[in-house]
Chain A
Amino acid sequence: MQEHDLSWVRTEMAVAQAAPRSGAGPVVWARTNLFATPADTIMSLFALLLVVWFLPQILNWLFFSAVWSGTDRLACLTVDQGGELPPGWSGACWPFVLNRFGYFMFGRYPMDERWRVILCGVIFVALLVPLLTPRIPFKRLNAILFFGVFPFVAFLLLVGGYFGLEYVETPLWGGLMVTLVLSYVGIVVSLPLGIVLAMGRRSKMPIVKLLSVIFIETVRGVPLVTVLFMAAFMLPLFVPPGVSFDKLLRALIGVALFASAYMAEVIRGGLQAIPKGQYEGADSLGLGYWQKMGFIVMPQALKLVVPGIVNTFIGLFKDTTLVLIISMFDLLGVVKQSISGDPTWATPQTAKTGYIFAAAIFWVFCFGMSRYSQYMERRLDTGHRK
């Protein structure tokens, strides 16, 4: 019957191969992990070359050739540039960072009042660490303190004007503190707003649903700079003459609204993953809409999307750098300003040094958040599969 040419069917047996080597030790490890096949060997050698070529250069630039002390740009200039270092020298100019460290952290916040920012930071860490450590009890109280009470304390401490604290206007704020304020407020506002928007988008009420969809899709469709641009240039036109918003506040509104749209989509994903039976079960128990959402659906949905939420937080944290486009000075803003606006430290190495320093700080925060989310994911996961 079958007269087809069965050329794709193998007719002879393949040559038998020797059993794979077993055992341990560096040689075996290298053979299996680095030099398994000829192609692998070539790739490994190439990669090794890459590492050997670049790594010493990077380390050398960062540490061994770097300048560690000095008071102005002369410390980081070569002889032909007017300094003292040998010609052809290239290395990090760390005294620039050390000299400007206070500025990078606090911006132009008055020297004598900086203890307030530090105190605020200490309270923040003191509340955050127990909140994030699963073993420590009193989570509810802790959360109330962190999300409910801390904002007011921080507001009083940072802005001042009460209880004998000197008033510090926000244009003086800058550096890492602005980055953290923006992220903290963004996170605290965008999570509940995102939950509300996600529920709105899944609502059966057509108007609520329509409005949520329009808001979410519009915000997600445009770049954050446009939203910040609106907040900076159009918000003043929307309010009655004379009402003015603080610039920081405007940036906060922009960042929080932007993040909440992304948050809404993440949470909607979680809501969709909750089986219908859960909703129906809650209904059959006679729970109202808010009870159903609050006690049954949300806890499960939020747990499912913890990684997504943290990813949105990381995105938000990185996005706070964009406020420099509307002339505000977050960490990146002050670093950039010190690089391009300050002749005291104008050297060819300053820009690289400054940006690498800023990158390291951002990296530590973002990497920490992503590692924590992975840890939480594993924890919540085991809870599920018990």
Chain B
Amino acid sequence: MALNDTIDGDQPARISLLYDPKARSYFFQAVLLLALILGVWWIVDNTIENLTRSNISTGFGFLNGRAGFDISDQLIAYSSDSSYGRALIVGVINTAVVALAGIFTATIIGFIVGVGRLSKNWLIRKISTVYVEVFRNIPPLLVILFWYQGVLALLPGVRDSYSLPFGSFLNVRGFYFPRFIWSDGAWLVVAGFVVGIALSAFVARRAHVRQMATGQQFPVFLTSVGLILGLPILGLLLAGIPVSLEFPEKGTFNLTGGVNIKPEFLSLFLALSFYTASFIAEIVRAGIMGVSRGQSEAAAALGLSSGQSLRLVVVPQALRIIIPPLTSQYLNLTKNSSLAVAIGYPDLYAVGGTILNQTGQAIEIVVVFMVVYLSISLLTSLFMNWFNTRMALKER
């Protein structure tokens, strides 16, 4: 623009409309907007025509209708009399459960393998590398199917279940373990747990203040563990052990009683954890390598043990590099949980598909999918951004 003014200062009006970048930009955007509006109008028009022609009603009213089908895994009360809306909520909860469990395990495996890849121990290093290279390069759906059809489907039938310690069983119907049944007084245990956490936080704070002031350290970790485990146990004893175990037993068809983790959940959970862990391992490795060597050398020079140097010096700095890509891995895992449909785990996508088939409301179902997955993405991003700002380098 400035160029135009100086060179063609005398007669800017003649060429400006064609060559003025501003005018061009407006024109281009107007065209784009027009095309977009036309395109959307075209799509909406076609859709309405298609829907009226086949007599399909639109709107979300169908969500109140009776679902009529049963769902095998449910954390909230649901029966075939419940509404379609509730069925979708069951699906969302199932998605959340498998995603959270997967994130938890994948993070642990990922950190172990990531650190293992940098280990001085040749064997550990090689095993970690093989793990990462194998799982990173195989489609997650294949891993899910492998677990489901290749491993868990070959377990013995109910009658020949593998008996495992603590009254638990493993068979083709999944993993069974005893259920805790709480009776009166259970609140003391919960209270002990809550108080334990609160006290630990307090102790950690005091210890930090004290260390800042006097340099004396206090075994915060051990104290916290003691408090968080000890107080509930104390509560348990005070209340006279208000808990009984319900062991799984052989019924007519299945094992009855106890808690059953179904093979659908297990294979999805295992596959997602192992798959995502291989990516997390690489992120952790890159993060640790991103901390300059001088830092750990300085830590060593200060006389910190290798564990201390890792915990106090390297990891806090590495976390800053690790967190952003880790967030996107968490999101990937959540999105990959929609592969559940291939093995019949009733997550949001599978339940939505069933509802689509019963009601024919394709557009509404897709809108529900979009809203739910986008909100999950947004929430995770917000949380991790908050965490990231907390961990970020505070420059003074």
| Interface of A toward B, CB cutoff 8 Å | 4-8, 10, 14, 32-34, 36, 40, 43-44, 47-48, 50-51, 204-208, 211, 218, 220-226, 229-230, 233-234, 236-241, 286, 314, 318-319, 321-322, 324-325, 332, 336, 339-340, 348, 351-352, 355-356, 358-359, 362-363, 366-367, 370
Count of interface residues, chain B, beta-carbon cutoff 8 Å? 62
Determine the distance from Cα of A136 to Cα of B137 in the docked complex, in whole angstroms.
29
Q: Which residues of B contact A14 (CB under 8 A)?
A: 303
21 sampled A-B residue pairs with Cβ under 8 A = A4-B214, A6-B215, A7-B214, A43-B119, A47-B121, A211-B36, A220-B377, A221-B374, A229-B366, A238-B46, A241-B46, A314-B137, A321-B142, A325-B342, A351-B145, A355-B145, A362-B138, A362-B139, A366-B137, A366-B138, A370-B136
Q: Which residues of B contact A51 (CB under 8 A)?
A: 123, 127
Contacts A43-B123, A332-B139 supplied; 8 other A-B pairs, CB < 8 Å: A6-B215, A50-B127, A51-B127, A222-B370, A224-B335, A240-B46, A318-B138, A362-B142
Contact A233 B362 (CB under 8 A): yes
Q: Which residues of A contact B181 (CB under 8 A)?
A: none
Closest 4 CB pairs of A and B: A366-B137, A33-B122, A223-B335, A351-B149
- If the complex has contacts A221-B374, A226-B373, are A40 and B121 also in contact, measured as CB distance less than 8 A? yes
Interchain CB contact (< 8 A) of B33 among A4, A33, A207: A207
Contact B123 A48 (CB under 8 A): yes
- If the complex has contacts A5-B216, A204-B25, A222-B370, are A237 and B46 also in contact, measured as CB distance less than 8 A? yes
Determine the distance from Cα of A229 to Cα of B341 in the docked complex, in whole angstroms.
12
Contact A226 B145 (CB under 8 A): no
Count chain B CB atoms within 10 A of each CB in A4, A229, A324 and give the residue with the most.
Answer: A229
B328-379 with Cβ < 8 A to chain A? 331, 335-339, 341-342, 349, 353, 356, 362-363, 366, 369-370, 373-374, 377-378
Determine the distance from Cα of A220 to Cα of B373 in the docked complex, in whole angstroms.
10
Interchain CB contact (< 8 A) of A36 among B121, B335, B337: B121
For B117-159 the 0/1 string (1 means CB < 8 A from A) is: 0011111100100000110111111100110011101100000
Q: Which residues of B contact A222 (CB under 8 A)?
A: 335, 369-370, 373-374, 377
Interchain CB contact (< 8 A) of A226 among B214, B217, B366: B366
Query: Cβ of B163 < 8 Å from any Cβ of A?
Result: no
Q: Which residue of A is nearest B51, CB measured?
A: A237
Determine the distance from Cα of A46 to Cα of B36 in the docked complex, in whole angstroms.
62
Q: Which residues of B contact A205 (CB under 8 A)?
A: 25, 28-29
Contact A47 B124 (CB under 8 A): yes
Q: Which residues of B contact A358 (CB under 8 A)?
A: 142
Count chain A CB atoms within 10 A of each CB in B25, B28, B137, B331 and give the residue with the most.
Answer: B137
Determine chain A's interface SS by DSSP, over half rule: helix
Contact A324 B342 (CB under 8 A): yes
- If the complex has contacts A44-B124, A237-B47, are A318 and B139 also in contact, measured as CB distance less than 8 A? yes
Query: Cβ of B392 < 8 Å from any Cβ of A?
Result: no
Determine the distance from Cα of A352 to Cα of B150 in the docked complex, in whole angstroms.
4
Q: Kindly provide the distance from the CB of B149 to the nearest chain A CB, expressed in whole angstroms.
A: 4
Contact B374 A218 (CB under 8 A): yes
Q: Which residues of B contact A225 (CB under 8 A)?
A: 338-339, 341, 349
Q: Which residues of B contact A226 (CB under 8 A)?
A: 338, 349, 366, 369-370, 373
Determine the distance from Cα of A254 to Cα of B219 in the docked complex, in whole angstroms.
55
Q: Which residue of A is nearest B21, CB measured?
A: A289
| Interface of B toward A, CB cutoff 8 Å | 3, 25, 28-29, 32-33, 36, 43, 46-47, 49-51, 53, 119-124, 127, 133-134, 136-142, 145-146, 149-151, 153-154, 214-217, 303, 331, 335-339, 341-342, 349, 353, 356, 362-363, 366, 369-370, 373-374, 377-378
Determine chain B's interface SS by DSSP, over half rule: helix
- If the complex has contacts A204-B25, A352-B146, are A223 and B349 also in contact, measured as CB distance less than 8 A? yes
Contact A241 B49 (CB under 8 A): yes
Q: Which residues of B contact A340 (CB under 8 A)?
A: 149
Determine the distance from Cα of A237 to Cα of B48 in the docked complex, in whole angstroms.
8
Q: Kindly provide the distance from the CB of B154 to the nearest chain A CB, expressed in whole angstroms.
A: 5
Contact A363 B50 (CB under 8 A): no
Q: Which residue of B is nearest A224, CB measured?
A: B335
Q: Which residue of A is nearest B143, CB measured?
A: A359
Contact B137 A362 (CB under 8 A): yes
Interchain CB contact (< 8 A) of B137 among A4, A34, A325, A367: A367
Contact B216 A7 (CB under 8 A): yes
Contact A355 B150 (CB under 8 A): yes
Q: Which residues of A contact B363 (CB under 8 A)?
A: 234, 237
Contact B123 A359 (CB under 8 A): no
Q: Which residues of B contact A206 (CB under 8 A)?
A: 29
Q: Kindly provide the distance from the CB of A229 to the nearest chain B CB, expressed in whole angstroms.
A: 7
Q: Which residue of A is nearest B26, CB measured?
A: A205
- If the complex has contacts A33-B121, A207-B33, are A229 and B369 also in contact, measured as CB distance less than 8 A? yes
Contact B138 A359 (CB under 8 A): yes
Q: Which residues of B contact A234 (CB under 8 A)?
A: 362-363, 366
Determine the distance from Cα of A221 to Cα of B59 in the docked complex, in whole angstroms.
24
Determine the distance from Cα of A118 to Cα of B290 in the docked complex, in whole angstroms.
46
Determine the distance from Cα of A206 to Cα of B369 in the docked complex, in whole angstroms.
28
Q: Kindly provide the distance from the CB of B304 to the nearest chain A CB, expressed in whole angstroms.
A: 11
Contact B154 A348 (CB under 8 A): yes
Determine the distance from Cα of A51 to Cα of B123 in the docked complex, in whole angstroms.
9
Determine the distance from Cα of A341 to Cα of B77 in the docked complex, in whole angstroms.
35
Determine the distance from Cα of A321 to Cα of B136 in the docked complex, in whole angstroms.
15
Contact B349 A332 (CB under 8 A): no
Q: Kindly provide the distance from the CB of A258 to the nearest chain B CB, expressed in whole angstroms.
A: 11
Interchain CB contact (< 8 A) of A332 among B141, B150, B336: B141
